[in-house]
Amino acid sequence: MAVVLGTRPEIVKLARVVRGLGDRGRIVYTGQHYDDNLSGSHFRGMGLPEPSVRLTGIGGVPRGRQIGAMISAISDGFEADPPRAVVVQGDTNSTSAGAQAAQYCGIPVIHVEAGLRSRDRAMPEEINRQVVGVLADLHCAPTTVAAGHLLAEGVPAERIQVTGNTIVEVVADSLPSPEASRALLRRYGVAEDGFVLVTLHRPENTDDPQRLRLILAELAGLGLPVLFPVHPRTLHCAERYGLARQLAALGAVDPVGHAEFLGLARYARLLISDSGGVQEECTVLKKPLIVLRNSSERPEAIEAGFATLLRPGPEIGRVARALIADPALPERLAARPSPYGDGSASERIVELTLALAGGPARVRVPHTSPAPSGVRANRRAAADAAAPVASPVPSP
């Protein structure tokens, strides 16, 4: 089996899957995140082997050329040494390219974190999600909401498995101890429950100078210190737009590793981010999050009360200060379960991958979803909401 990945979130979320496949799997690394701070160190930090294939010349080029180059290079590798199945994760350009290359070579595709939808076609990830949704042979949906999206689009129910989201076990594996987390606070000069942790990297926020200026101004007025690990894209844009001084005044620091971020987030009063992964992690850490985005493909975190979706504007400061000032909020969030499963998603995905590839699975893999009643309920809901796809189309 081949696991195609190219970004930090993919490395983090697929770590247990890669380890579970062991010598039956190999990593194809596209180099989409070409900065070692974003990807290279994560192979080492997650205890993963070096990739069997490592593409070059991919990172930093325009999207169309990037995806085209990845498809060509990955296809060449698959034709020379075809795997029995290909695993892709999420919604990156690497995900789309890996799925397309596999399909063109006649290799089954397993899509991890399948079925997320924002219905916002201005979001590049939404196009990637929809492309892979057409190509995948097995859709590992993190929730029944995601499974419902796939059913509404005509994906046969037997191709959908509700596995949970691997983020639950990733947090359990990566979260530093309380002592190590408090040592991080001391290193960065912030107090437990006394700072706001911020990440920002999406083009909709960083590539618009007025929007970025507004966000930085709102963060400066929260009434608590801000700790801001700065993504290279954000730093570049701030320097380009003359906002470097405002950024530096907000506790800007170099990017941190995933475990470090979790350790800091554990004791932050509030999280503010435009990241997709942080929307999931906040539900495991039981932390309030403001999502600075036009739209979200993860409504579960919002509906569960962990996240608040905001377009950048004056309401950022108002909402943030209200969350900071709510003394009962930590206790309320601590009592709420994460909507992303029980921490066994990676194990389920490994078993499903082995079964689809025809290899020996350690346990019998059910033909139906691990949560069949949830899928059936979503199938009925999809039929009610979208009559043209009331009945899934037959498998081709």
Q: Does domain 2-164+344-389 have CATH number 3.40.50.150?
A: no
Q: What is the mean pLDDT of residues 53-62?
A: 89
Question: Regarding predicted confidence, which is higher, 235 or 362?
Answer: 235
Cβ 345 vs Cβ 165: under 8 Å: yes
Residues above pLDDT 70, as percent of the chain = 88
| CATH code for residues 176-334 | 3.40.50.2000
Sign of CA dihedral 303, 9, 43, 260: negative
DSSP-based three-state secondary structure for 28: strand
DSSP-based three-state secondary structure for 153: coil
CA angle 14, 345, 117 (to 5 degrees): 80
The mean pLDDT of the chain is: 89
Catalytic residue among 33, 139, 149, 201: 201
Q: Is the pLDDT of residue 175 over 60?
A: yes
Q: What is the mean pLDDT of residues 62-70?
A: 95
Q: What is the mean pLDDT of residues 384-396?
A: 28
Q: Is the pLDDT of residue 181 over 70?
A: yes
pLDDT 10s digits, 21-52: 999 999 999 999 766 554 556 777 788 888 99
Can 201 be counted among the known catalytic residues? yes
pLDDT computed for residue 35 by the predictor: 60
| Phi, psi of 62, deg, nearest 5 | -55, 150
pLDDT computed for residue 390 by the predictor: 26
pLDDT computed for residue 60 by the predictor: 81
Written as six digits, the tokens of 359 are 């290899």
Residue 363 CA to residue 5 CA, distance in Å, equals: 26
- Of 245, 232, 175, 170, whose CA–CA distance to 200 is shortest? 232
Residue 142 CA to residue 111 CA, distance in Å, equals: 11
Q: How would you list the strands of the sheet with 53-54, edge to edge?
A: 53-54, 26-29, 2-5, 86-89, 109-112, 138-141, 160-162
Amino acid present at 119: R
pLDDT 10s digits, 86-120: 999 999 999 999 999 999 999 999 999 999 999 99
Q: Where are the domains of the chain?
A: 2-164+344-389, 176-334
pLDDT 10s digits, 270-317: 999 999 999 999 999 999 999 999 999 999 999 999 999 999 888 999
**Whether the domain at 2-164+344-389 and the domain at 176-334 fall into the same CATH topology:** yes
Locate the DSSP E strands across 106-231: 109-112, 138-141, 160-162, 196-199, 226-229
Q: Is the pLDDT of residue 371 over 60?
A: no
